[in-house]
Amino acid sequence: MSDWREALTQEERDDLKKSDHPKWMSPMLATLTDKRFSDPDWIYERKLDGERLLLFRDGGDVRLMTRNRKQANDTYPELVEACLDQDCTDFVIDGEVVAFKDGVSSFSRLQQRMKITKQKEARSSDVAIHFYVFDLLHVDGHDLDALPLRTRKQLLRRLFQFDKPLHFTPHRNEDGEAYFEEACAKGWEGVIAKRADSPYHHSRSRDWLKFKCENGQELVIAGFTEPKGERKGFGALLVGYYCQDKRDGGDGERLCYAGKVGTGYDDDFLVEFRDRLEAHSVDECPFADGPGGKDVTWVEPHFVGEFGFTEWTDDGKLRHPRFLGLRRDKNPRDVVRESAGETADG
């Protein structure tokens, strides 16, 4: 591999930081906004509905790590092999693993792979996965955080071979509004706008913004109702998010109730997840403002799900919610109500 640093400007070489191979690097997270814009200083990528992964390679050792630091090597063994096939032997790349259904990334389809924990079963799965790489955090003994995004993406294209299941994430320059309209027309989840000269922040940042075609929210599951009629498993999930407790002058966190979700489940999930929920049942309601009801079984806030909905009601509940899938890459304590922020220039 040629010296990739030769392609950098002197200023960029000065910004490089020598580093041993990292054990962990927190991913950069985007901020939701309801403002759409076009700007030559920004790039625009398709928002994929999958599982965020950081891929670490240190010589012959490869680790696929989720956002909450769970290793996923046995779930996606083809990604491990793709990493080992690279000429570069010391790197950390950032991206999203997805599965497609009718040409659109489908989180519910990916769920069938996410719950697999044995390599043999994963290799025989009929759910083909793809990993879309969109950033380079570390390479050849150097952290790249301080380099501009465009430079990091140029290094990705130069240093890596992109064959299935690895893909370079394409982007558009400048035309954010048109790309967002195209994304929604095609049934995509939305667009991620990224400031082209931004460094990599290991936290949520306004240098990355989410343009979402429809409302979606990660929520903590803390209860379920009994099924009625011929329904199996459970009737609905009771969900919520962590918020600041301002009652009586308090400033701590509490689990706020966001409503019941009774649609989006298949029969197999209803039965299987009922058993998992019962293993975490508790006597007291985990919500600070939860509903009553004799047919409710409370569970400790252990599981996180992804839900679609039309809007938030005035009293903070979901309108027309539906279940999309479980998330294993999110710590329940990190789940807060996501709301659109200010404009990109705000």
Extents of the domains making up the chain:
14-212, 215-334
Q: What single letter denotes the amino acid at residue 110?
A: L
CA–CA gap between residue 243 and residue 261 (Å, rounded): 20
Is the model's pLDDT at 163 over the cut of 90? Answer: yes
Retrieve residue 63's tokens. 């680790």
Q: How would residue 291 be classed by pLDDT, with cut points 50, 70 and 90?
A: confident
Give yes or no for a contact between 138 and 202, defined as CB atoms under 8 angstroms apart.
no
Which H/E stretch holds residue 165?
none
Q: Distance from CA of residue 44 to its chain's centroid?
A: 17
Candidate ranges 17-31, 105-119, 203-217; pick with highest mean pLDDT: 17-31
User: pLDDT digit string (tens) for 175-209?
Assistant: 999 999 999 888 888 999 999 999 999 999 999 99
Retrieve residue 285's tokens. 């309601």
> What's residue 287's pLDDT?
94
DSSP lists the bridge partners of residue 312 as 318
Least confident of 171-175, 189-193, 286-290, 293-297: 293-297
CA–CA gap between residue 176 and residue 159 (Å, rounded): 28
Catalytic residue among 17, 18, 23, 47: 47
Select the CATH number that applies to the domain covering 215-334 from these four: 1.10.10.60, 3.60.15.10, 1.25.40.10, 2.40.50.140.
2.40.50.140
Is the model's pLDDT at 259 over the cut of 90? Answer: yes
Q: How would residue 251 be classed by pLDDT, with cut points 50, 70 and 90?
A: low
Round the average pLDDT of the chain to a whole number and report it.
91
Q: Class of 14-212 per CATH?
A: alpha beta
Is the model's pLDDT at 1 over the cut of 50? Answer: yes
Q: How is the beta sheet containing 39-47 ordered, strand by strand? A: 29-32, 204-212, 190-195, 39-47, 171-174
> What's residue 174's pLDDT?
87
Q: Give Cα separations from 31 to 24, 34, 44, 225, 228 (angstroms).
A: 22, 10, 14, 33, 40
Is the model's pLDDT at 294 over the cut of 80? Answer: no
> What's residue 91's pLDDT?
98
Retrieve residue 238's tokens. 């009771």
Average pLDDT of the residues in 52-78: 97
Q: How would residue 344 be classed by pLDDT, with cut points 50, 70 and 90?
A: very low
Average pLDDT of the residues in 263-286: 94
Query: To the nearest whole percent, how much of the chain has pLDDT over 90?
Result: 77
> What's residue 289's pLDDT?
85
Alpha helices per DSSP H over the chain: 10-15, 77-84, 107-114, 119-124, 149-159, 176-185, 267-278
Q: How would residue 340 be classed by pLDDT, with cut points 50, 70 and 90?
A: low
Domain 215-334 in the same topology as domain 14-212: no
Q: How would residue 341 be classed by pLDDT, with cut points 50, 70 and 90?
A: very low
47 catalytically annotated: yes
> What's residue 101's pLDDT?
87
Q: How would residue 329 be classed by pLDDT, with cut points 50, 70 and 90?
A: confident
> What's residue 343's pLDDT?
34
CA–CA gap between residue 237 and residue 57 (Å, rounded): 39
User: pLDDT digit string (tens) for 96-150?
Assistant: 999 998 888 888 899 899 999 999 999 999 999 999 999 999 999 999 999 999 9
